[in-house]
Amino acid sequence: MKLPSNNILEISNNKIDKYLLNPNHPDGQAKADFYIANGIDIKNTAHFENLLKQQATENDIIQKIATPYGTKYIFESAIAFPNGKSHVIRSVWISAENEKILKFVTAYKI
């Protein structure tokens, strides 16, 4: 099942700059090391955001989980990185109940 086309995907700059691409973040360091090694850095965050949004709009939902904070949507697919390599990435998004806005939570290599 794919997301309905009327959903809006939002990615906070802080999720990218201060978490996924921050090698000094206590929880995000390994993710930052991976993304930076594959050509994603602070200079091309817009491209990275587009890759993540593309994954969520073009691929089937792998898992849909009801939580106290809303519904989590999980996607998995290969993503082509700027260094020419392709890796399977899992991205997690969440929406509040009855909302059409999905907010980006995290993405990591699986």
Confidence of residue 35 (pLDDT cuts 50, 70, 90): very high
Distance CA 106, CA 63 (A): 15
The larger pLDDT score, comparing residue 85 to residue 5, is at: 85
Alpha carbon dihedral 56, 90, 15, 43, in 10-degree steps, equals -80
pLDDT, tens digit, for every residue of 46-98?
Answer: 999 999 999 999 999 999 999 999 999 999 999 999 999 999 999 999 999 88
End-to-end alpha carbon distance in the chain: 21
Tokens of 22: 């921050």
Q: How far is CA 66 from CA 27, 56, 69, 84, in A?
A: 24, 18, 8, 36
Q: How far is CA 27 from CA 22, 56, 105, in A?
A: 9, 23, 13
Distance CA 96, CA 14 (A): 20
pLDDT at 97: 84
pLDDT at 71: 96
Q: Answer yes or no: are the C-beta atoms of 81 and 40 closer than 8 Å.
A: yes
Share above pLDDT 90 across residues of the chain, in percent, rounded to a whole number: 91
pLDDT above 90: residue 99: no
pTM exceeds 0.85: yes
